[in-house]
Amino acid sequence: MAKLTVEDLDLKGKKVLMRVDFNVPVKDGKVGDDNRIVAALPTIKYVIEHDGKAILFSHLGRVKKEEDKPGLSLRPVAERLSNLLQKPVTFVPVTEGKQLEDAIANMKDGEVLLVQNTRYEDVKDGEYVKRESGNDPELGKYWASLGDVFINDAFGTAHRKHASNVGIATNMPGKAAAGFLMEKEIKFLGDAVDNPQRPFVAILGGAKVSDKIGVIDHLLEKADKIIIGGGMAYTFFAAQGKKVGNSLLEKDKIDVAKQIMDKAGDKLVLPVDNVVADKFDNDANTKIAEGNIEDGWEGLDIGPKSIKLFESVLKDAKTVVWNGPMGVFEMPNFAKGTLAIGRFLGTLSNATTIVGGGDSTAAVKQLGVADQLTHISTGGGASLTYLEGKTLPGIAAISEK
């Protein structure tokens, strides 16, 4: 890629500002799933092993009022990071001012400091001022003034234009680089969409067509086949004139679904059968429906014939991008379609298989098939934006090589 990367930077003795994605679940002062912290370790370790001073910035949750702050402190994250790195991490409980500036001035080479949640800047004196989330120009300039170089390793927020990613980067021209995680995400998603080994098959699922229209539009130009599963398939069924019973349906998107089908021709592959249930419950009565879905029944998973059909489309693929589960995978009785597709992707040893973040990532992890796939994106919204072919401001702001 043409962007500056961490390996292009001279780090020795430098104050290295780093935007990482530590937006992890924290409950009662304890970090839950620490995957995102683990994902940032390679870049952090690289910086400290090259004698840089690692000054880390991240957001955590949404700060909209003063009372949100205590529960969204990054202190527990600093503790977990310290355990993972097996070295001390200095936590600075503020986002600006003398306490932060002194702490940075006192750092030795190879040390690590974590700044308080960048979104604390969104609320000042009880007012929701969105300095971080609104990319306040003064804030980006101030944070940039605290360091010598900048590394953005937070792919998960790259679709947002915030002071801690875009703001800092634009104030450090020629010195803003991508971290290893960011580089990996750009490489896999970028190559898949813009330079794929063919056949390139996209699998789209999840709840709503409305969330994925941009992705379908863009991928229709890029992919050889687009498989549609999950709740969004029923709006396409309705567009074909089929009955969908109580299944998820976006009536106002039926026309859009029609247009997509006209444009796509045989590129679009829809389910041919569904597991239908008499209520939205794991213990509901179920049966397989081909064609129409009767009133009183709702489609909660793809059926066995659809699994076979999708596998036949996928078997020769060289590139697969997957976003969105095939059914209500959170309920074991309706997870079979998602599991089958995940397992099948795991057997495609000659293909690059990429999962595009969000619920699909949760699904492949929960179902235990993540290890067999090539790349699991860390960013839900960011990877969707990428798949829509849109520019991600966080990436655009990184300096060119």
* 358: annotated active-site residue: yes
Containing 58, the helix (H) or strand (E) segment is none
* Span of 53-61, 170-178, 201-209, 389-397 interacting with ligand AMP by CB under 6 A: 201-209
Give the pair of three-digit tokens for residue 268: 């679009």
Q: Please, is 4 exposed, middle or buried when counting C-beta atoms within 10 Å of its C-beta (0-12, 13-18, 19+)?
A: buried
Report the C-alpha gap between 331 and 22 in whole angstroms. 28
Tell me the residue length of the chain.
401
* CB nearer to ligand AMP: pick between 168 and 364: 364
Q: Which of 14, 15, 19, 36 is catalytic?
A: 36
Answer yes or no whether residue 300 interacts with ligand AMP by CB under 6 A: yes
**How many chain residues bind ligand AMP (CB under 6 A)?**
16
* CB nearer to ligand AMP: pick between 77 and 256: 256
Beta pairing, strands 30-31 & 26-27: antiparallel
CB of 219 to ligand AMP, least distance (A): 15
The amino acid that residue 188 corresponds to is F
CA dihedral of 133, 135, 136, 139, whole degrees rounded to 10: 90
CB 328 within 8 A of CB 359: no
Answer yes or no whether residue 206 interacts with ligand AMP by CB under 6 A: yes
Number of Cβ within 10 Å of residue 99's Cβ equals 12
Q: Taking CB under 6 A as the criterion, which residues in 208-247 touch ligand AMP?
A: 208, 211, 230-231
Q: What is the largest CA-CA distance in the chain?
A: 70
Q: Taking CB under 6 A as the criterion, which residues in 164-193 touch ligand AMP?
A: none
* CB nearer to ligand AMP: pick between 328 and 340: 328
Answer yes or no whether residue 284 interacts with ligand AMP by CB under 6 A: no
Comparing every residue's Cβ against ligand AMP, the nearest one is 206
Answer yes or no whether residue 271 interacts with ligand AMP by CB under 6 A: no
CB of 382 to ligand AMP, least distance (A): 14
Report the C-alpha gap between 372 and 92 in whole angstroms. 39
* 208: annotated active-site residue: yes
* Span of 40-48, 159-167, 237-245, 319-327 interacting with ligand AMP by CB under 6 A: 319-327
Looking at 166, 328, 355, 382, which residue binds ligand AMP (CB under 6 A)?
Answer: 328
Q: Which of 13, 61, 381, 389 is catalytic?
A: 381
Give the pair of three-digit tokens for residue 397: 């702001």
Helices and strands (H and E) in the chain: how many: 14, 19
Number of Cβ within 10 Å of residue 50's Cβ equals 18
Instruction: Tell me the three state secondary structure of residue 155.
Output: helix
Q: Which of 141, 208, 258, 267 is catalytic?
A: 208
* 205: annotated active-site residue: no
* 401: annotated active-site residue: no
Residues known to be catalytic: 36, 208, 358, 381
Q: Which residues of this protein are in contact with ligand AMP, per CB under 6 A?
A: 206-208, 211, 230-231, 248, 299-300, 324-325, 327-328, 330, 358-359
